[in-house]
Amino acid sequence: MIAELVSSALGLALYLNTLSADFCYDDSRAIKTNQDLLPETPWTHIFYNDFWGTLLTHSGSHKSYRPLCTLSFRLNHAIGGLNPWSYHLVNVLLHAAVTGVFTSFSKILLGDGYWTFMAGLMFASHPIHTEAVAGIVGRADVGASLFFLLSLLCYMKHCSTRGYSARTWGWFLGTGLCAGCSMLWKEQGVTVLAVSAVYDVFVFHRLKMKQILPTIYKRKNLSLFLSISLLTFWGTSLLGARLYWMGNKPPSFSNSDNPAADSDSLLARTLTFFYLPTKNLWLLLCPDTLSFDWSMDAVPLLKTVCDWRNLHTVAFYVGLLLLAYYGLKSPSVEGECNGKFVTNGKQNANGHSCHSDMEYRNSEIKPSFASKVENGIKNNASQRTQLPSTENIVVLSLSLLIIPFVPATNLFFYVGFVIAERVLYIPSMGFCLLITVGARALYVKVQKRFLKSLIFYATATLIVFYGLKTAIRNGDWQNEEMLYRSGIKVNPAKAWGNLGNVLKSQSKISEAESAYRNALYYRSNMADMLYNLGLLLQENSRFAEALHYYKLAIGSRPTLASAYLNTGIILMNQGKTEEARRTFLKCSEIPDENLKDPHAHKSSVTSCLYNLGKLYHEQGHYEDALSVYKEAIQKMPRQFAPQSLYNMMGEAYMRLSKLPEAEHWYMESLRSKTDHIPAHLTYGKLLALTGRKSEAEKFFLKAIELDPTKGNCYMHYGQFLLEEARLIEAAEMAKKAAELDSTEFDVVFSAAHMLRQASLNEAAEKYYDLAARLRPNYPAALMNLGAILHLNGRLQKAEANYLRALQLKPDDVITQSNLRKLWNIMEKQGLKTSKT
């Protein structure tokens, strides 16, 4: 028990500093924007959606069905909201639990000695676990590992009680249930059933390859055959149910996720896929270079047989075959053990097992789970069995290393990554066992005390180095900036791009722009990076450059709805209404099939329709606007905030004098967001129009209360006061509005108009002048400035503004009339005019 506690404590201690870490990388999509975590979403949706909240049968779904992990996130969210501390705490505690259970599992194989302790400490400290433990989405791997081990332990208990206790099938039921739970944490958890079969055949029954078929043919060990058959049936059932539940279709990924899968060259695909397990083993053995992402060109394709990395591939598979041969070879001669005759790898005496080597003369002997049964015959006497031999443990270690990794090899279907460190969490159990049993075998074999000490301390030193690397790597996971900077040397395109997002959020605009451009230097066709750079340029009023990068993004990914949306907004603001209209329409017609994030796509499409409706609204096409708004409501995803859309629906009905419908949509807007200021203002105007003055004033005042710094609120309230002939109060509201929003043309222009109506002409002149400076090419602003100057007796300035307004709009009748009146006055006063 001490080994388990110490190993768990180390696993806990190494990751304590991650408790202060923020959400990183994939955490945002799996947690912060995942609707399945919200209390208003029915919890049953978790069992129909994938890990990221997309409907599992959707063509763009990742098909990663991990409902138990998502359920744990939802519980985290219910208790602590979006505070990352609680999420990290659960991950660390799960890792400590897995470490303790793994150490207990190792004790069954290695005995209650320091080698078990070594195996537990190595697993607790291995740096490859950092992504799974420090990255919150890695909880899927850690949770799957816990139930993986519990399933395996249940099956070992089933083996030891099989044939003489009815409880043996209770243990088998536990095996099946834990295997199912492991798969519902993460897909690879189902592979525990295959590992259990390996344990039963090659460790518990100690069969060699040549003995398996004769044993089945001669109907020996029928209980073994029955157990293996049930494991096969249950595994097939789980996989069949899993395939059915995800729509009987594999997921589809972009070529950047797994470039080898997208390669046209069969040779490149074959060589690369054979090489990738070699690279993964190297990360387990020497985890010096780790990265948050290994997609794109992080591992260049092997395109020819002359690539020197093929030597690594050959060495890896030769070594693997030699280890497998060592563990599975049949004994050359029959032998004796403790004076008892041994055949078929089993001792034919009193149910005692026997080792095939002499290394355990001084090693521990421990009780098995219960007395062993040979050939299905019950042994009534309680027995003690020796530990599995080195060959047995090597076979089990190899199965733990290889079988859970098989789903990631692209052997049965293409996966959405090149290398994923968190996928190695379960295989690392086999690696740690393999290293430990290898060190123990060497320790037993050598005779000199110096060499024994050297082997022992070399293993201990390896654990120390692993622990130090884990502590250093945990520092990289403290925040996204450190994480992405650490990945630049492995995957520069992805790392620079993600770093640009972080720097932008920190308002480091020039650094963010450089980061985006660095990302595009390494991979120029990344649609997301092109879009992000365009968005940054748009937010800094560099509209021409922004449009250029949006068009490049659309060229790289024609389904990128957000790029169409922002392109349309820029064109609309530039007065290119027809181009904007075509852009919004094209965006609204893009389907969401095979898209990685259909929710985000639907949000962008809804926003496009919203802006198209606004465009029609501004052009006075209110019926067209309503039609577009209704389409937007139909396509609107669950997470879309609808208050602005509902408010604009009300505005369109208001313009069509359909007041009951307008009131309905204003109320819907306020119901969806009770503090939505535009809806307070528009609903206040409707109430005033329908004679409910006191209610209207309450809504205007509430809008001001919600945001006292927003000049638009004072402007609307001022207009209401003006209509009520409360001129002094209206003038005060106008001045307040113009002071707060002195750069907003509409606010300043309306304030000047209200001041003029209140006969405060000097103040009106000040704000008409400011409005004209804000939009120097807007005829209405120049005409009104000319009019107020005219009234205030500044005739020559008035003339200049009238003339400038007529240059921009020569056929404006009002301006022409005002100018003629002005000239008459100027001539009467003997002033020189432009016409003379």
Please compute, for residue 9, the number of CA atoms within 13 A of its CA located in the half-sphere on the CB side.
Answer: 7
Interatomic CA distance for residues 721 and 47, integer angstroms: 55
Q: How far, CA to CA in Å, does 444 sit from each of 358, 440, 740?
A: 9, 6, 83
pLDDT of 361: 35
Higher pLDDT, 751 or 429: 429
**Residue 246 pLDDT greater than 90, yes or no:** no
Q: Give the tokens for residue 65.
A: 């069905």
At 60-84, the pLDDT tens digits run 788 889 999 999 999 999 999 999 9
**Domain segments of the chain as ranges:** 707-764, 775-835
pLDDT at 119: 96
Total-model pTM: 0.82
The answer to whether residues 55 and 48 touch, using CB atoms and an 8 Å cutoff, is yes
- How is residue 618 written in tokens? 């501004």
* Whole-number pLDDT of residue 280: 96
Of the candidates 436, 424, 420, the one whose C-alpha atom is nearest the C-alpha of residue 400 is 424
How far, in Å, CA of 616 to CA of 309, rounded? 61
What are the structure tokens assigned to 446, written together? Answer: 């050598």
* Residue 212 near residue 201, CB atoms below 8 Å: yes
Q: Are 208 and 356 in contact (CB under 8 A)?
A: no
pLDDT tens digits for 538-551? 999 999 999 999 99
> Which residues, at least 6 apart from 436, have a Cβ–Cβ distance to it below 8 Å?
106, 110, 115, 118, 119, 122, 459
Q: Would you say residue 371 has pLDDT above 50?
A: no
Where is pLDDT greater, at 346 or 478?
A: 478
Asked if pLDDT for residue 692 goes beyond 90, the answer is yes
Query: At residue 552, does pLDDT exceed 80?
Result: yes
* pLDDT tens for each residue of 3-31: 889 999 999 999 988 888 888 878 778 89
Label residue 333 by pLDDT band (50, 70, 90). very low
Question: What's the whole-number average pLDDT of the chain?
Answer: 88
Share of residues in the chain with pLDDT > 70 (%): 92
pLDDT of residue 822: 85
Residue type, 484: Y
pLDDT in tens, 719-763: 899 888 888 888 889 888 888 888 888 888 888 888 888 888 888
Residue carrying structure tokens 């006191």: 694
- Residue with the bigger pLDDT between 218 and 327: it is 327
pLDDT at 95 over 70: yes
Condensed to tens digits (0 to 9), the pLDDT of residues 432-443 reads: 999 999 999 999
Supply the DSSP string of 90-121, one letter for each residue: HHHHHHHHHHHHHHHHHHHHH-SSHHHHHHHH
Rg of the chain over CA atoms, in angstroms?
37
Mean per-residue pLDDT, 95-119: 94
Average confidence (pLDDT) over 309-318: 95
Cβ distance 631 to 609 under 8 Å? yes
User: Average pLDDT, stretch 457-469?
Assistant: 96
Q: Which pLDDT score is estimated for 218?
A: 60
Does the structure show a pLDDT above 60 at 530? yes
User: Which architecture characterizes domain 775-835 according to CATH?
Assistant: Alpha Horseshoe (1.25)
Are the CB atoms for 202 and 336 separated by under 8 Å?
A: no
Confidence category of residue 343, pLDDT binned at 50, 70, 90: very low
pLDDT score of 445: 92
Identify the pLDDT of residue 836: 59
Q: Rounded to whole angstroms, how far apart are CA atoms 110 and 432?
A: 12
Phi and psi, residue 337, nearest 5°: -140, 120
pLDDT higher at 350 or 353: 353
**Range with lowest mean pLDDT among 27-36, 180-189, 827-836:** 827-836
413 pLDDT band, cuts 50/70/90, is confident
pLDDT tens digits, one per residue of 571-628: 998 889 999 999 999 999 999 887 888 888 999 999 999 999 999 999 999 999 999 9
pLDDT at 759: 84
